[in-house]
Amino acid sequence: MTIVITGATGFLGLQLLPHLVGGGRRIVALTRRGRPPVEERLTRCLRAQGVPEHAVRAVADRVHGVPVDLNRADLGLAPWQFSQLAAEADEFWHLAGHVGLNAPAAAVTRTNVAGTAHLLNLAAAAGPGARVHHVSTAFVAGGRGSGTVHETQLNGDHGFENAYERSKFEAEQHIRRWAAERRAKVVVFRPSILVSDRPSAVGTPSNPLAELARAFGLLTALLPGMPPGMPPGTPPGASVDPSGRRTGDPTGGPSAATPLVRIDGREGAHLNLLPVDAAARLMHELAGRLDPVPGTPSTCHITHYQETSVQTVFEAVGALHGLRIRLTPGPITDATDLERFAARATRAFAPYANHRRTYLRTTLREHRLDGDGIASIDRAYLVRGMQRIPADLGADFGLAAAATTRSSAGSASPTGTFVAPASRLSLALARPGA
């Protein structure tokens, strides 16, 4: 029997695969066409994440890649391939998704809603006992800023902060209808924001913490008098290590000289952040224990038992980049240039600086999985997870090449920290989708 998985090469998929291969079954990873072979990508990413070699080999040996086109109802497979795959599959894990918070609605809807419907076509062709595990998000709760979200709830009453949230909501609606029509066995997992305290390596899936920190990394380039490689506000005794990371006191408190950046946000705002390795473990564990009623998906919040304050997240960013970032109830009418840039650079994140909702962890509680073994997320954890390989800083903004040489348009430290003039930074931040 075979497990069919989408999104195996992603941030979450890479953590889930080692659990799935442990079951000894064949695993077919449906991947995007035109990418390098999945076995090669998985091996490279797992090694970069420090996964032990024997576990890397176990994944590479057991996982068989099949290129597909999620935009097509038949997944772009030949009819015989489609039927053969459906016939051998007894379990589906659908993780593939477009997770861009700034991305155009058409793109996220195509992948997250139509892509889910097309994957379900394959599941429908499988035997009646085949199980579907669908990875949704806790953010199907949309624009609801406070209160407690139940696992049974799925309504769009509060609107959505972005097209990504709406698309995941619509995908869940679709899967509920589909399960009811076919009396299919479905488990829907709703993870919160997945994070890691491993620094992101180039060429591996992105950690959302690193994305947020990178936006602020570009901002520090705006500040005058910044010695190369040493952001302003660097605590006494700190230094930059050979890989470009500030050491000495990476989580130290800000000094009075540290530049202040106010971010529009609600006092007491908090978010649910969950280590990605815990999310994968909990989902795999629950999948083995749950027996969903045919036609009615079991829906589970995969969330941390503790909320993380948004101010703590910004303190971690500030500690990393030598800034004092303070959540301030808006509107901020006297914003400095730096604050205006900060607001633009982080606009995808902005709505979440007002959130104070919590999620009921009913299923995790029922299965006594609601606490143990989950790392607590403090400022030190966040700082570790926000670090990136310096050469990657600004890569998506087309600044990576410039960061290797000194030029009149900007300067780069030997450690790779890029110092750009304001005009260059404005261009970078003005790029569509930035």
| Residue 11 engages ligand NAP in binding (rule: CB under 6 A) | yes
Window contacting ligand NAP (CB under 6 A); options: 97-105, 148-156, 174-182, 328-336: 97-105
User: In the complex with ligand NAP, which residue's Cβ is closer, 142 or 233?
Assistant: 142
Neighbours of 58 (CB within 10 A): 17
What CA–CA distance (Å, rounded) separates 89 from 123? 8
Q: Provide the minimum distance between the beta carbon of 87 and ligand NAP in the complex, in angstroms, as a whole number.
A: 22
DSSP 197: S
User: In the complex with ligand NAP, which residue's Cβ is closer, 231 or 385?
Assistant: 385
Window contacting ligand NAP (CB under 6 A); options: 4-12, 52-60, 84-92, 341-349: 4-12
Q: How far from each other are the two terminal CA atoms of the chain, in whole angstroms?
A: 44
Selected from 5, 12, 122, 226, the binder of ligand NAP by CB under 6 A is 12
Selected from 96, 132, 271, 325, the binder of ligand NAP by CB under 6 A is 96
What CA–CA distance (Å, rounded) separates 346 from 221? 16
DSSP 100: -
| Residue 212 engages ligand NAP in binding (rule: CB under 6 A) | no
| Residue 194 engages ligand NAP in binding (rule: CB under 6 A) | yes
DSSP 28: E
Of residues 27 through 56, those in contact with ligand NAP by CB under 6 A are: 31-32, 35
The tally of CA atoms less than 13 A away on the side-chain side of residue 20 is: 29
Of residues 263 through 282, those in contact with ligand NAP by CB under 6 A are: none
| Residue 198 engages ligand NAP in binding (rule: CB under 6 A) | no
Selected from 42, 59, 99, 163, the binder of ligand NAP by CB under 6 A is 99
DSSP 113: I
Selected from 43, 49, 109, 137, the binder of ligand NAP by CB under 6 A is 137
| Residue 191 engages ligand NAP in binding (rule: CB under 6 A) | yes
| Residue 142 engages ligand NAP in binding (rule: CB under 6 A) | no
User: In the complex with ligand NAP, which residue's Cβ is closer, 191 or 265?
Assistant: 191
What CA–CA distance (Å, rounded) separates 241 from 310? 28
| Residue 70 engages ligand NAP in binding (rule: CB under 6 A) | yes
H or E stretch at 180: helix 163-182
Walk across the sheet containing 63-68 and list its strands.
63-68, 26-32, 2-6, 89-94, 131-135, 185-191, 298-302
Of residues 154 through 183, those in contact with ligand NAP by CB under 6 A are: 168
Q: Provide the minimum distance between the beta carbon of 321 and ligand NAP in the complex, in angstroms, as a whole number.
A: 22
- Distant-in-sequence, close-in-space partners of 175: CB < 8 Å, separation ≥ 6: 116, 120, 132, 134, 186, 188, 297
| Residue 13 engages ligand NAP in binding (rule: CB under 6 A) | yes
Please give the angle made by the CA atoms of 50, 54 and 60, to the nearest 5 degrees: 90
What CA–CA distance (Å, rounded) separates 105 from 166? 9
| Residue 114 engages ligand NAP in binding (rule: CB under 6 A) | no
| Residue 297 engages ligand NAP in binding (rule: CB under 6 A) | no
Selected from 98, 270, 281, 321, the binder of ligand NAP by CB under 6 A is 98
Amino acid at 81: Q
The residue assigned the tokens 């994968």 is 280
268: left (phi over 0), alpha (psi -120 to 50) or beta: left
Closest-by-Cβ residue to ligand NAP is 10
Task: List residues near ligand NAP by CB under 6 A.
Answer: 6-13, 31-32, 35, 70, 95-99, 111, 115, 135, 137, 168, 191, 193-194, 205, 208
